[in-house]
Structure 1
């Protein structure tokens, strides 16, 4: 059965034939992109997620077979159907030997064309089988290698630690691993370990018994129990308090969890994925993260590159995100101008994909034209430079400023500063170490 949601790229230097075939396929429910030459088609392939290329054979600038060869360099395995008004058996044999999926003679029989499209899309599906990572849009060789690793580790229950800057998509990768795993039919539950106070985080993870603390009027299961049979994703594991690191280690070792305030253990069957933006080996050196827990979590390590390290993905991502935003808010918005796209590619993206999403949402919200201009992109980028930090980033900045103020007030007297903060000296020293502050720098 033909996959009507497929995105087809039609290539022909005859405008009338290009328009006619495009209208025919659009009326059948396909999404259709058109290009009047081979080079234009290759540029479109860099911007759009294409499922199948249908090209004329005889074109002035680049013929169909030359285009096929370039397409395979860009996207190996992309099916290509060649159409020609001058078909011959030798040409057809040569084309199919080179890997062209189908070779059809004009005027193309409707049923023959749809049959070829159907077979080409069916042939591509098993090879790519991308449903498990449908939310990850990429053609970057680095990302494709990472996804291949992710697919392989998904098949077992080994613990995976995902490293990457904020906004790179660590949770999305974790969701993809879950979707590709035998546990895909069960729950995927995520929690940010740096966003909750220690007692609340402990209760969220392990559950609590009735009366375990003030306000615990009934027993409540934790996320380990709620994720039974599925996957629990511990985001920003590097920010987990050390007391909870000990309890988490016990859970991983014994595969049992004890709710807060309970005397009874509960067996669990959960896969653990975790992520952090921190340098955990460095945190281990500072005694801020347990070495034994690190090795339990870091059986396989996956590192997501920053967006500026995979700039070839920016046009593809930008167009994908623009299409989504336009569908939600302004369907008349179609594309970026050439200069606007160049500006997006040239940006440094300290906030990574999360920042790109915000910039494109702003552009769509503010535009009244179908094509996003460079000026609008620039305006959105400037606005992003003053955007709010994440909760964790804001909390860390507050802690740093607070500690500096305490040390200034007490002239570097740690005992006095700890007393003012309501912390014991050991805890206070850990806070100073975490924020790389030296009390002696504040002594007069």
Structure 2
């Protein structure tokens, strides 16, 4: 057990000293921290196998540290030390991922027993992560999410970390970045892979039938209910529920969903007793749910419940040469499906692809790649047909590239031409002339 590393967090020096002595004698390797900030710093430098933390401390409390560990160091068990008045808080924290809690003054031998069990759980989690990393290679993670840019590698590492733990996840990403693909991977590489994956597009279901679709109803529960309906949540039991465009869910149903997530049970209309529910929730949004919550357009408590573990998908414009790899993949895929020979990618096309901002992200690029493979496009973003004279000339290609760079600089500068000129390292007057010549609006659009 000497290889089990404990991070013990308490603001009282004497408590830290005595805990270190006892746990070291019991065969553990112990590091201590006097507050949450110090604990975070130590976790960032060298991870621990188990975190033991007092709840009540000056500044940030132990619950804050729990949330940090759950989000950034998933798989590390957290044990809470609590006073008598904080027991209900600790019980609630266990629903949020705490491994266990001990009421102070705790029995030292009992703490050691809990730590031994938690150490075994931590060891198994590490082994599971290793096996899942092997599985990711075998199941073609890199083929399902193409790209080797720094942004994508960080995202894939985070996805693999979250996939190995049976926790709810909130996915952030612009339209077309692949949120449903990421949700499928979380399911396929997770412990529920053999069970159903049920996708629900919250923006596509009419509000009048939303409740019945999600929660179901018994026969005769209301006028017109001639037969029972099993809601999608119940159908997904044992598996994963993917709630796409969660920001579109009606507020009244957000209240019911929050209760389902908290209690893990579903109240079916027409049934007296709730039904237990064993699912993993993965939600996706293109919006800032926290900001929507502040405006009363989304339940803040639902946001905080979903946001315990988050995954952010980078937009295509931030992925560099991934654009070329994706375009080549999609064109080859479409050519093979259509029985055509792959078309070569001229330098002018590659340059235009790299210069484009891709507001529709991967979805937009895939559509263009399909048209290009079928000979319906020259591969220049914004053009849908091959011009009669063949590929565009150098002057036109360079103008498109220049226009894309200037539009991006203007958007990043909030439409401020002086700031955009500074970023582009050209005189303000030169930028103005280019904007006029290329037909670019002040907000960066054409």
User: TM tier, shorter chain?
Assistant: 0.5 to 0.7
Cα gap change, 1:133 to 1:242, in 2 (>3 Å): farther
Residue of structure 2 equivalent to 1:191: 200
- The aligned runs of 1:17-416 (5 Å cut-off) are 128-129=137-138, 131-132=140-141, 134-367=143-376, 375-378=378-381, 380=383
The answer (yes or no) to whether the contact 1:202–1:260 under 8 Å persists in 2 is no
> Deviation at 1:357?
0.9
The answer (yes or no) to whether the contact 2:372–2:379 under 8 Å persists in 1 is yes
The answer (yes or no) to whether the contact 1:133–1:176 under 8 Å persists in 2 is no
Q: Distance in 2 between matches of 1:142 and 1:223?
A: 34
Structure 2 unpaired stretches of 5+: 1-132, 387-446
RMSD of the TM alignment (CA)? Answer: 2.3
Q: Distance in 1 between matches of 2:135 and 2:271?
A: 49
Cα gap change, 1:184 to 1:338, in 2 (>3 Å): same
What SS does the corresponding residue of 2:185 show, helix, strand or coil?
Answer: helix
Aligned residue pair count: 254
What SS does the corresponding residue of 2:219 show, helix, strand or coil?
Answer: coil
> Deviation at 1:195?
1.6
What SS does the corresponding residue of 2:380 show, helix, strand or coil?
Answer: helix
1:214-256 Cα deviation digits (max 9, x unpaired) = 4432111111111111110000111111000000011011110
Q: Distance in 1 between matches of 2:350 and 2:173?
A: 25
What SS does the corresponding residue of 2:144 show, helix, strand or coil?
Answer: coil
Q: Distance in 2 between matches of 1:186 and 1:265?
A: 22
Q: Distance in 1 between matches of 2:356 and 2:141?
A: 30
Q: Which moved more, 1:283-292 or 1:259-268?
A: 259-268
Q: Distance in 1 between matches of 2:382 and 2:357?
A: 15
1:173-204 Cα deviation digits (max 9, x unpaired) = 11111111011111111111122122312111
Cα gap change, 1:382 to 1:375, in 2 (>3 Å): closer
Structure 2 length-normalised TM: 0.54
Cα gap change, 1:254 to 1:378, in 2 (>3 Å): closer
Structure 1 unpaired stretches of 5+: 1-123, 368-373, 384-444
1:102-121 Cα deviation digits (max 9, x unpaired) = xxxxxxxxxxxxxxxxxxxx
The answer (yes or no) to whether the contact 2:378–2:385 under 8 Å persists in 1 is no
The answer (yes or no) to whether the contact 2:372–2:378 under 8 Å persists in 1 is no
The answer (yes or no) to whether the contact 2:378–2:384 under 8 Å persists in 1 is no
> Deviation at 1:129?
4.3
Q: Distance in 1 between matches of 2:229 and 2:296?
A: 33
Q: Distance in 1 between matches of 2:142 and 2:217?
A: 35
Structure 1 length-normalised TM: 0.54
The answer (yes or no) to whether the contact 1:210–1:218 under 8 Å persists in 2 is yes
The answer (yes or no) to whether the contact 1:330–1:364 under 8 Å persists in 2 is no
Q: Distance in 2 between matches of 1:300 and 1:187?
A: 21
> Deviation at 1:381?
5.6
Residue of structure 2 equivalent to 1:413: none
The answer (yes or no) to whether the contact 2:247–2:285 under 8 Å persists in 1 is yes
Q: Distance in 2 between matches of 1:258 and 1:133?
A: 40
> Deviation at 1:335?
3.2
Q: Distance in 1 between matches of 2:238 and 2:344?
A: 43
The answer (yes or no) to whether the contact 1:314–1:344 under 8 Å persists in 2 is yes
Cα gap change, 1:286 to 1:330, in 2 (>3 Å): same
The answer (yes or no) to whether the contact 1:132–1:180 under 8 Å persists in 2 is no
Q: Distance in 1 between matches of 2:375 and 2:215?
A: 45
The answer (yes or no) to whether the contact 2:173–2:313 under 8 Å persists in 1 is yes
